[in-house]
Amino acid sequence: MAPRMLLARHGQTSWSLAGKHTGRTDIPLLEEGRRGAKLLGERLHRAPFDGLADVEVRTSPLSRARETCDLAGFGERARDWDTLMEWDYGDYEGMTPAEIQAVRPGWLIWRDGVPGGESLAEVTARADEVVARAREADRDVLVFAHGHVLRSIGARWLGLPLDFGSRLRLNPTALSVLGWAYGEPAIESWNDLGHLSP
C-alpha cells in the first residue's frame, strides 16, 4: 500500500485565536492548545491508528508545533524539519486579514502573497518537498506544522496550484489524512476535530 501523510496542525495560541498571521514568531500554546494536543495524541494512540508504531514523524521546529507533537506523545520519535515552518508573512506578520485589507483592499494571501516574506513560488517549492519526501517513504508520515503550510501541502498533494489551499479550512489541533483513491492522490479526511468532542 502506498504511504499516507497524516497532518496535525498545532494547538491554539493567542495569535491563532485572534486571527493574526503567525509565521516565524514563536508563540506558545494556550492551555486550550495543550489540552487539544493531548486529546489528539490520545486519538492517535487508539484504534484505528494504534500509536502509529511504524510512522515517520516530522515537526516544524517552532515551539507551538513542537510542543503539540510532544504533548501528543510523538516527541521522542520526531525530527525537526525547517521545511515545515509556517509561511514567512514578512511585513504582514502579526496582522489580521482585516488589518491587511484596510491597507490593501481585496488582498488574498493565496493570490497576492506578502511583501517582505516568502513568495508563492517559495511556499510551493517547500510544500512540494514535503509531498515528495512523503511519497518516497516506505511508511506513513506524520507531520506537525501550521495552518497555511499544511493547507499548501494538501493542495500540492492533489497536484493542484497553491491557491487551492484557500479552499481548505484548517482549525488548530485538526487532523487530516492524505492518501490515495484508485491510484490517484486523494484526501481521506480533512480538518477532523472529532478528538475535541466530549
Give catalytic residue positions.
10, 86
| Closest-CA residue to 153 (of 184, 176, 172) | 176
CATH code, 46: 3.40.50.1240
Separation between Cα atoms, residue 127 and residue 189, nearest integer Å: 19
Residue 92's pLDDT is 97
Phi, psi of 17 (to 5 degrees): -65, -35
- Residue 139's pLDDT is 94
Whether the per-residue pLDDT at 1 is higher than 60: the answer is: no
For the chain, what is the mean pLDDT? 96
| 145: its cell numbers | 506544522
Tens digit of each residue's pLDDT (9 = 90 or more) over 25-82: 999 999 999 999 999 999 999 999 999 999 999 999 999 999 999 999 999 999 999 9
Mind listing the pLDDT tens digit for each residue in 158-186?
999 999 999 999 999 999 999 999 999 99
Total structural domains within the chain: 1
pLDDT score for 59: 98
Per-residue pLDDT tens digits for 80-137: 999 999 999 999 999 999 999 999 999 999 999 999 999 999 999 999 999 999 999 9
- Rounded to whole angstroms, the Cα distance separating 128 from 186 reads 15
Give the pLDDT confidence of 139-157 residue by residue, as tens digits.
999 999 999 999 999 999 9
Which residue in 40, 54, 48, 42 sits closest to 9, CA to CA?
Answer: 40
- The reported pLDDT for the residue numbered 167 is 96
- pLDDT band at residue 2, thresholds of 50, 70 and 90? confident
Q: State how far the Cα of 121 lies from the Cα of 97, in Å rounded to an integer.
A: 21
Model confidence band, residue 197 (pLDDT cutoffs 50, 70, 90): confident
Q: Which domain holds residue 146?
A: 5-196
